[in-house]
Amino acid sequence: MSILVTGANGQIGTILTRTLRKIYGKEQVIASDIIRPNYDDDPFLMLDILNVQRIREIIEDFEITEIYHLAAILSANGEWNPLKTWNVNLNGLLSILDLAREYKLEKVFFPSTIAVHGSTTPKVDTPQDAPLLPGTVYGMSKLAGENWCNYYHQRYDLDVRSLRYPGIIGHDSLPGGGTTDYAVEIFYAALQQGHYTCFLRPDTRLPMMYMDDAMRATTELMAANSSKISNRTGYNVTGMSFTPLELAEAIRQHIPNFSIDYKPDFRQAIADSWSQSIDDTKARQDWGWQPEYNLEKMTADMIFYLNQSIKIKAN
């Protein structure tokens, strides 16, 4: 088995590469990105996902059997350059899917997102098969991507699997330009400045998931027997739902003097267009999905590990 991870230098890719290397061995997992990590992360290859010939060479040279295709431009950054975002997010995926078909790869993982939800989607306990009319180019590209994944599965029997991640929160990598980024930034600000100015309103409820749960969801989905995968667009999955006000309260249980104020910007409209909570029954039924982290457990873990890394950097 030889796995290629695209977008491996991002918030999720950094941790997913590490997770896959623990399972399959370091040499079996090739990390790639347009930006080189600033720490030793070999084997690493520079790869722009729009360079189809380079992807082909990597598949051939490293005899790739599986691809985890993470490279993308996220919701907030995507709005600064819609056409580039569509190109990277959709054409990048189409190259991966078509090369996976041509080289008969065993599996492809495509991370979708709650950003596929939009103005027509029920906001509470959003069902798997909810109406989808995304308002961002990021959401549009991921929804089109889900449909292409389903098409390649139906037409070419490609074993492509996908999760609609909610906002992902972790202590070992920084988010890359999304609307849920506040839920990571707030921890750094609380520990370093004791204060955070939030770009969303205090009552903005969004679905979230701790990185450990995201890694488990991904590896469990990919390890599941193909007969258990009844969804080939993107499985709803969730860990918890909270507002900035509730997160600030949870942080105050550990840092009593922590203060927060709110200056909503353009990301408020994006957050308002997404669901507040997710029904992930289908993932639970099909391949046994079960989150382990709620708001309190995630907050305690984030503060513990970020405190440790701040102390290590100070020494």
Catalytic residues: 138
Task: Tell which one of 2, 17, 19, 75 touches ligand AKB (CB under 6 A).
Answer: 75
Q: How far is CA 277 from the centre of its chain?
A: 16
- Closest residue (Cβ) to ligand AKB? 178
Residue 300 interface partner, choices ligand AKB, ligand NAD, none, CB cut-off 5-8 Å depending on type: none
Contacts 24+ apart (CB under 8 A), 247-252: 247/183, 247/186, 247/295, 247/299, 248/186, 248/196, 248/202, 250/295, 250/296, 250/299, 251/186, 251/187, 251/190, 251/299, 251/303
Tokens of 25: 């061995």
Residues in region 142-201 near ligand AKB by CB under 6 A:
167, 178-180
CB of 12 to ligand NAD, least distance (A): 4
Residue 34 CB coordination number (10 Å): 15
> Which lies closer to ligand NAD via its Cβ, residue 147 or residue 259?
147
Per-state percent for the chain, helix, strand, coil, to nearest 5: 45, 15, 35
Give the pair of three-digit tokens for residue 115: 């950003």
Compute the Cα dihedral for 41, 46, 48, 54 and give only its sign: negative
Which residue number, 144 or 255, has a Cβ lying nearer to ligand NAD? 144
Closest-by-Cβ residue to ligand NAD is 10
Assess 113 for contact with ligand AKB (CB under 6 A).
yes
Query: How far apart are alpha carbons 284 and 81 in whole angstroms?
Result: 36
Q: Please state, in angstroms and rounded to a whole number, the distance separating the CA atoms of residues 74 and 80.
A: 10
- Of 46 and 223, nearer to ligand NAD (C-beta) is 46
From the list ligand AKB, ligand NAD, none, partner contacted by residue 179 (C-beta under 5 to 8 A by kind) = ligand AKB
Q: Binding segment for ligand AKB among 80-88, 110-118, 191-199, 290-298 (CB under 6 A)?
A: 110-118
Rounded to a whole number of angstroms, the minimum distance from the CB of residue 223 to ligand AKB is: 23
Closest by CA to 239, choosing from 186, 285, 297, is 297
Q: Residue 170 binds which entry of ligand AKB, ligand NAD, none, with Cβ cut-offs from 5 to 8 Å by kind?
A: none
Least distance from ligand AKB to the Cβ atom of residue 256, Å: 29
Residues at the interface with ligand NAD (CB under 6 A):
6-7, 9-13, 33-35, 47-50, 70-74, 88, 111, 113, 165, 167-168, 175-178, 180
Instruction: Tell me which residues touch ligand AKB (CB under 6 A).
Output: 74-75, 113-115, 138, 167, 178-180
